[in-house]
Chain A
Amino acid sequence: MFKTLTTLIAGSVAALAIATASAAAAEKITVLTWNIPVYGEKIAGWITDFKALHPDIDVEWIDKKGTEWATFYQTQLAAGTPPDVVNIQGALWAEYAANGQLLDLAPYLAADADFSGRFVPGALDMWKMGDGAATYMVPWYFNRTLLYLNKKMLAEAGIAKAPATFDELMDAAEKMKGEGKSGFLTTNFDWLFWPLFKMNGVDILNADMSAAAFNTPEAVATLTRLAEATKSGAINNISWTGRWVEPNTAFAAGNVGMYMAPNSALFWAASKGEWINADNVEVVQDPQLWWTPNHHGWGVSASTKHADAAVDLVKIATSDKWQEVMSNTFSLLTLNKNVDPKLIEKFRKENPLKATTLELAGSELDKITGYLKSPLEARVKDAFWTSVQPALLGEADPKKALDAAEAKVNRILSRR
């Protein structure tokens, strides 16, 4: 009995060791995506295409919700096992790039004209750093702020044309406010409110990103006006407290006159409010054309053992074939020059509001603001927002809030 048991245990241990060894021997790359679990079937398609190129390398796909993404990725970085291919939102990549954790894709782009030539002009600039030679990411999908007008509320308030300046925007908001109604609403995460300051000539940092540039009389006036409008109800206070669901739901309810948010926010709201269509909503550029992105790109970890294969997977993910699937699945821009025009054309008949929105979203790409390509972006953002948010909600004096924010930001920029 004892002998049988010993043989059984020894056999199991040996089998486990062989299985572990063979599993460890298989080459593998890992792909991390940002909150896109419903896309699994399509990603399986990429993997099939990838396996045709690299039959000896397996691909593991991991998806994390936005709130869990940074925790997961940073833990993997700390452990020295970052995913080979990473999908990163907004300007977070800048920190990883500055810390040497992302591969410079410029040589791969230079070596492959099809790869570098598939993106719309200026798209890659969003992920360039330093002297512009290094390109750390390539675009996957792209959203940016636009202004959505509730035509009925504008007409009721006697407003004939879309506001073209900050003052016109605030005046229109005041005219539309009322019991249960507010004139203006914005999203606030990732600097999405920043066009409001930029319209008044305010920048976040100076040109070389060495000091805060936002504490100006214009910024004080802007902040004061925003706080007063929030207090009066002209601006919905969800603008400063909500993140995604709250402002979108508020706009979908039909009681907000103007909504400044990424194009994906409008489509999300439209799925909750049937009234949101071309008859009832007009889409325009933010006043003075300034916009803030909420985009996603692909990068490759500098520590990957399979850099060429990882880049091949990025090429597959950003190819015309798969970006067409992506754009049709989620109604969004990909910054792929062959794919986006087709999507807009398709929507011209099917959904004119979407067509106009996407067309506007893909234009004026040089008027970007609120996008800091700095390794300290997250800390600057946090220091600014935690000081200024109370002022927007009437809990702090605007000048003192900006003074406090400036002191914090300058300390972050000047010390380690």
Chain B
Amino acid sequence: MASIFAKKRHRELAFIWSLLAPALLIYLFYRVVPLLWNVALSFSFWSPGKPMEFAGLYHYEEMAFYDDAFWTVLANTAVFMLATPVAIALALALALLVDQNIRGRSIYRTIIFLPYPMMVVAVGIVWRWLYNDSVGLVNYALRSLGLIERPIAFLESYDFAMMSVMVAAIWQIVGFFTIIILTGLQNIPAHLYEAARIDGARAHHRFWRITLPLLRPSIFLCVILGVIASFTSFDLIYTMTGGGPGLATELLITYIYKTSFSLSRFDYAAAVTVVMFLLFLALATIANRLAGGDAGKVDIAD
């Protein structure tokens, strides 16, 4: 035993592993084990209090060929993901604005960032009231402007519900994206712009040739965070619409919850979770590849 620690390198390794072990154990028990259990459950028949039986691909077959709700919620999740590019575009515009040398810019930055730390449940409730067709500010404003004659029940409407929750999601996350992009902007060396000016490059040329390419890691970090948010926006949907009307705003994550706890189908929900996990993994990999494998590098490493 003593000989193992005789070499300095071994002693160092033992020290490093002893420091890493608690975090790795927590990761193992809270992430890896549940994930493996979830995969096992997806190939089984099981409900609380009942013995587990092997089900093979039963749940996956059901998902693919019989459960049209699954395809609807998958499509909804894809649509909901479109909130990310919109939020990034808005955040880019806002970051460029608050990066200018204008009076009170720190106040603007604070105001833009403010919605992000708010509890999502609170955001959901606030927006639910804003959209209310009897007393909501949105309907009041639209009617006052003469844009609509009758109030719209935004969150009860098949046409408007998804768009309405996307607006709330964008409103909340745009401040966070703005801060990320702003950090990226401030990391771009000023001499690049000076050289471009000397060479006669106009503002839009400087934006397309310098700003945007150098912001790529920040933007892709936002893409990944946006994708994560799209997959995990449980509380916003739950408080604003509960997934309705019908399945109009049901996302994969709320569908998994409903399948588990309202319909007692933990096994089937596990299969949907596995599919969601794989989709998420694929999207994150693609996003990272597109970022040249260094999403977030400027903001974190440099």
Q: Which residues of A contact B (CB under 8 A)?
A: 70-71, 74, 77-78, 80, 95, 99-101, 237-238, 240-242, 303, 378-379, 382, 386, 389-390, 393, 395, 404, 411, 416
Contacts and interface: CB of A to CB of B under 8 A. Distances in A.
29 contacts: A70-B261, A74-B48, A74-B261, A74-B264, A77-B49, A78-B266, A80-B49, A95-B264, A99-B48, A101-B48, A237-B156, A241-B245, A242-B156, A378-B263, A378-B264, A379-B263, A379-B265, A382-B258, A382-B262, A386-B247, A389-B244, A389-B246, A390-B245, A393-B158, A393-B245, A393-B246, A395-B158, A395-B246, A416-B55
Interface in B149-180: 153, 156, 158
Contacts of B260: 74
Contacts of A395: 158, 246
| CB-CB nearest 10 A-B residue pairs | A77-B48, A241-B156, A78-B48, A71-B261, A389-B246, A390-B246, A70-B261, A379-B263, A241-B245, A395-B158
B47 interface: yes
A165 to B, nearest CB: 29
Given A241-B156, A241-B244, A411-B66, A101 B49 contact: yes
Nearest to B55: A416
A77 B50 CA distance: 10
Contacts of B245: 240-241, 389-390, 393
A129 to B, nearest CB: 17
A382 B48 contact: no
Nearest to B47: A99
A77 B47 CA distance: 9
Contact of B153 (A77, A241, A390): A241
Contacts of B261: 70-71, 74
Contacts, number: 59
B246 A386 contact: yes
Contacts of B263: 378-379, 382
Contacts of B58: 416
Nearest to B261: A71
B135 to A, nearest CB: 11
Nearest to B258: A382
B69 interface: yes
A232 B145 CA distance: 27
Interface string B36-54: 0000000001011110000
Interface string B47-86: 1111000010010000000101100000000000000000
Contacts of B244: 241, 389
Contacts of A237: 153, 156
Contact of A70 (B55, B66, B68, B262): B262
B26 to A, nearest CB: 20
A173 to B, nearest CB: 19
A100 B156 contact: no
Contacts of B158: 390, 393, 395
Contacts of B264: 74, 95, 378
Max chain A Cβ within 10 angstroms of own Cβ: one of B58, B245, B260: B245
Given A99-B47, A241-B156, A378-B262, 15 more contacts: A74-B260, A74-B264, A95-B264, A101-B48, A101-B49, A237-B156, A379-B263, A382-B262, A386-B69, A386-B246, A389-B244, A390-B245, A395-B246, A416-B45, A416-B55
Contacts of A70: 261-262
Nearest to A95: B264
Nearest to B243: A386
A95 B258 CA distance: 16
Contacts of B66: 411
A174 B245 CA distance: 24
Contacts of B69: 386
Contacts of A393: 158, 245-246
A34 to B, nearest CB: 14
A301 to B, nearest CB: 10
A100 B69 CA distance: 30
A70 B45 CA distance: 20
Interface string B247-290: 10000000000101111111000000000000000000000000
Nearest to A394: B158
A406 to B, nearest CB: 14
A240 B266 CA distance: 28
B280 to A, nearest CB: 23
B78 to A, nearest CB: 19
Contacts of B50: 99
Nearest to A70: B261
Given A70-B261, A241-B156, A99 B246 contact: no
A237 B157 CA distance: 10
A416 B66 CA distance: 13
B45 A100 contact: no
Contacts of A240: 245
A77 B156 CA distance: 34
Contacts of A379: 263, 265
A384 B262 CA distance: 14
A96 to B, nearest CB: 9
B67 to A, nearest CB: 9
A224 B265 CA distance: 32
Nearest to A72: B261
A305 B270 CA distance: 31
Nearest to A378: B263
A390 B248 CA distance: 10
In this complex, the member of A70, A241, A303 whose beta carbon has the largest number of chain B beta carbons within 10 angstroms is A241
B55 to A, nearest CB: 8
A395 B66 CA distance: 21
Nearest to B72: A386
Contacts of B55: 416
Contacts of A389: 244-246
Contacts of A77: 48-49
A404 B68 CA distance: 10
A225 to B, nearest CB: 20
Contacts of A390: 158, 245-246
